[in-house]
Structure 1
């Protein structure tokens, strides 16, 4: 029969109350850290061999049994009991059941404080690479669509009003650039998080585990933390991870918002693949962009997790406090959310169909070529302040006559201002307007092609980080 194990309690006269244990026991989701705790426990066993607490044979045996426990847990052969307060209690119980008193030696020189900090940090560093890999898949989908639509004309918007013609690829790549920065933020976070808390013990450092730099290297860190109090009492790396996740969620939500518009009957720019849309239980005709809606909603949860973590940290005194256990709730929520959202968004973008003809038709709606007139006047020597006024008068003339700018005749132009001549007419096409924006970062097709090439190079480097 399984005997409960407590890592504390000898100085207490009565056992903990059921209410205390219900509150204190780690939620089931926290036990996902078993692989990380086993990995760090194996590294600690080697440290205890170096310290002379374990013989080399004992250290090897503990490492062997811990690895077997990890395999059994992954296969569902063992699981925590209700009496196991947390992951550390669970693993020590199973270890001592299998090894006897040797298993009890592993606790020397460490604390749940540095264990908990280390387990989550290891887990986040692994999750960061998985999340980045999923972001790169979304980037692939955006780049593939952009490559097909470098010369597809579309209306660009400001204030959700038609502004200027653009390449539809340029609009897609605007989102890709934001996601690229999200990846860079995650990489930068990982660089700052490459310090191991192991060896900090409860708060003052360990009198036994005297070479944490060796354990750090074994676990893939650059070095141990510089300060043992900071190692166990800080969770800014969790808060920063949550910020990166929340910022990614916001960028996903912005793309989702545009998908709503593009796929609506009012816009009709894109058609979503049936496999990435849903219907209505009452209206048979409906085809809803539910992936985009769910993504937008989940972004709120990512933001909420960041706020919760910051609020938990803001008033904590030195070293470890149980408030810090909130770190896992917020981090796991963020990871689980992104694991669901990113593949769905990638599939939706990759499979959507773009209506080139409708985009081109709408590219000049709302007098989006007006800036071409003002720019042309400016190039002829008219001060832009005057050119702006002249162009505004020309737009008003078109509204009164029911004309589009591209339909103006030389006589129409002269009726508004003598400085408007037929020489401006070649500028009044969407193709000319887009081609004119040929500066670095502009929407001209050749600039868009260069942007795609540079972005592919960036993605290749980011993939190396994931696999390296």
Structure 2
């Protein structure tokens, strides 16, 4: 026997089974069961306080909802497609438990403000978890950076050797990227921390409800100021997906370099066995599969953002059924970024740095060419002319196999008699890095300052 729809009074016939299944959202919005019960508890407590519902009825509903919450936490609840969504499933279960009085719960609200409230609560609860996971990754980066301030590696532009840098400096660049992610997710909370409850379908309600009370009970900063906006706004979800997409860009870039750095050609780092896999046919392989997976999972997060942007772009106010498509991408994104952050943190904590291989890569690669040009500029040669002179020396060295540091002093003096023996000290990769002490630079003193500032920032969250 088909279940009678709670909205079925206006209809002479029920929908087909196919339409029921197509229109139902319970397969995914059951993810918000806890939030739906929380919202209903706040709503009925407000109905009791404002005397919209008799105290006895409200208390019966509160008791039933609290029992459902306990059952959900203990062993879960059984939901059906016939009841369409999480809201109607919870109400149906409440009706089974306490009888027709459950029907009074929906007084002064709509599924439109109900689902928006659930969605706000869902993201609001998870934003701090995302921020905490990013900060744990930042902590791992800072620790590794502090151990490698004076570890020298090639710095790249266009994936060509550019200038030698500190590996610690390289790691702190990612710390800064992830700090911007932290700040974006923290700002996201500002637009998530609003309560749609009480906006009803779109126009508010004639019942004398107290929206501030329900906002307070649910831990929201304030109610939405406009009921149309309250039920139609999904900016907070778009911001979450946008922030998550940028986060995944950063994780993917780091993964790309991890994959390079642990290859045979580079050999700068080695991943722990726990974060690597082997080959079913090639016994020697140690594959950076976890880095590749994180890099690959960026695509599904980007797709969720593009999906919701496309869904929302042409919707008239207020609620439209299209907005049922707002949740799955967010749920999937939460389940993607949190484990990605955890796995990345583990990789960073356990990787081994081949300091000798990194340092070796900065020799005989002409990445000290800028140092020589700067040195000649200090002798009074215009930098553009110094740049040209060094470029010619590099070209000659590429043809003859002679490194800049191997050029005899007599040859340097032909360029300018003011060149002295100290030029060879300047050309050493370690010295080249150490001397770059402009603010934010790769000089060891500057890197230590970056690390100190990062440690102080993390200490505020008791992470150091």
**TM-score normalized by structure 1?**
0.95
Kindly state the Cα deviation for residue 81 of structure 1 after the two structures are TM-superposed.
Answer: 2.1
What do you get for the CA RMSD once the two structures are aligned?
A: 1.7
Once residues 24 and 370 of structure 1 are traced to their aligned partners in structure 2, the CA distance between those partners, rounded to angstroms, is 66
Instruction: Point out where structure 2 has 5 or more consecutive residues left out of the alignment.
Output: none
Partner of residue 142, structure 1: 141
How far apart, CA to CA, are the structure 1 residues paired with 2:421 and 2:76? 82
Aligned to 1:330: 329
Query: Match of 2:327, SS?
Result: helix
Kept after mapping to 2: 8 A contact 1:397/1:416 = no
Does residue 431 of structure 1 match 2:407?
no
Any conservation in 2 of the 1:262–1:269 contact (CA below 8 Å)?
A: yes
Which of 419-428 and 198-207 deviates more?
A: 419-428
Counterpart in 2 of 1:132? 131
Q: Distance in 2 between matches of 1:38 and 1:453?
A: 45
Larger CA deviation: 87-96 vs 59-68: 59-68
Is the CA contact 2:52–2:208 (under 8 Å) kept in the aligned structure 1?
A: no
Q: 1:463/1:70 Cα in 2 relative to 1: closer, same or farther (>3 Å)?
A: farther
The one-character-per-residue Cα deviations of 1:393-450 (angstroms, maximum 9, x if unpaired) are 1212322331222222202323555564433222011111111111211111111111
Partners of 2:372 and 2:192 in 1: how far apart?
53
The change in CA–CA distance for 1:352 and 1:25 in structure 2 (over 3 A counts) is same
The answer to whether structure 1 residue 20 and structure 2 residue 22 are counterparts is no
Separation in 1 of the partners of 2:338 and 2:208?
36
Please name the residue that 2:308 is paired with.
Answer: 309
Q: Is 1:278–1:287's contact at 8 Å kept on the other side of the alignment?
A: yes
Q: What is the DSSP-based 3-state SS (H/G/I as helix, E as strand, rest coil) of the residue aligned with 1:162?
A: strand
Query: Secondary structure of 2:8's partner?
Result: coil
Residue equivalent to 1:100: 99
Measured in 2, the distance between the counterparts of 1:32 and 1:93 equals: 17
What's the counterpart of residue 290 of structure 1? 289
Instruction: Please list the CA deviations of residues 110-152 of structure 1 after superposition, one character each: whole Å capped at 9, or x if unmatched.
Output: 0000011110111011111111111111111111111110111
Tell me the SS of whatever aligns to 1:10: helix
Q: Is the 8 A contact 2:120 2:194 kept in 1?
A: no
Conserved? CA contact 1:155–1:364, under 8 Å: no
**By how many angstroms is 1:3 displaced?**
8.7
Instruction: Tell me, yes or no, if the aligned pair for 2:371 and 2:432 is still in contact at 8 Å.
Output: yes
What is the aligned partner in structure 1 of residue 453 from structure 2?
A: 454
Residue in 1 that maps onto 2:398:
399
- Does the C-alpha gap of structure 1 residues 5 and 91 become closer, same or farther in structure 2, counting only changes over 3 Å? farther
C-alpha spacing 1:151/1:209, structure 2 compared with 1 (3 Å)? farther
Q: Distance in 1 between matches of 2:165 and 2:412?
A: 25
C-alpha distance 359-279 of structure 1, shift in aligned 2 (>3 A): same
Is it true that 1:176 corresponds to 2:185 in the alignment? Answer: no
Deviation readout 1:306-343 (Å, 9 max, x if unpaired): 00100001100010001111110111111111122111
Structure 1 pair 106/300, CA: closer, same or farther in 2 (3 Å)?
Answer: same
Corresponding residue of 1:157? 156
- 8 A contact 2:26–2:80 mirrored in 1: no
DSSP 3-state at the match of 2:81: coil
**Helix, strand or coil: the match of 1:441?**
coil
Question: How far apart, CA to CA, are the structure 1 residues paired with 2:323 and 2:258?
Answer: 38
Q: Which residue of 2 aligns with 1:387?
A: 386
How far apart, CA to CA, are the structure 2 residues paired with 1:404 and 1:149?
27
SS, match of residue 155 in structure 2? strand
Counterparts of 2:192 and 2:76, CA distance in 1? 33
Contact 1:53 1:105 in 2 (8 A): no
Following superposition of structure 1 onto structure 2, how do residues 306-385 of structure 1 map, counting pairs within 5 Å? 306-385=305-384
**Pair 453,5 (structure 1): closer, same or farther in 2 beyond 3 Å:** farther
Distance 1:384 1:71 in 2: 74
Per the alignment, residue 10 of structure 2 pairs with 11
Contact 2:153 2:166 (C-alpha < 8 Å) held by counterparts: yes
190-199 or 150-159, larger mean C-alpha shift = 190-199
Would the aligned equivalents of 1:139 and 1:176 in 2 still touch at CA under 8 Å?
Answer: yes
How far off its partner does 1:456 sit?
2.0
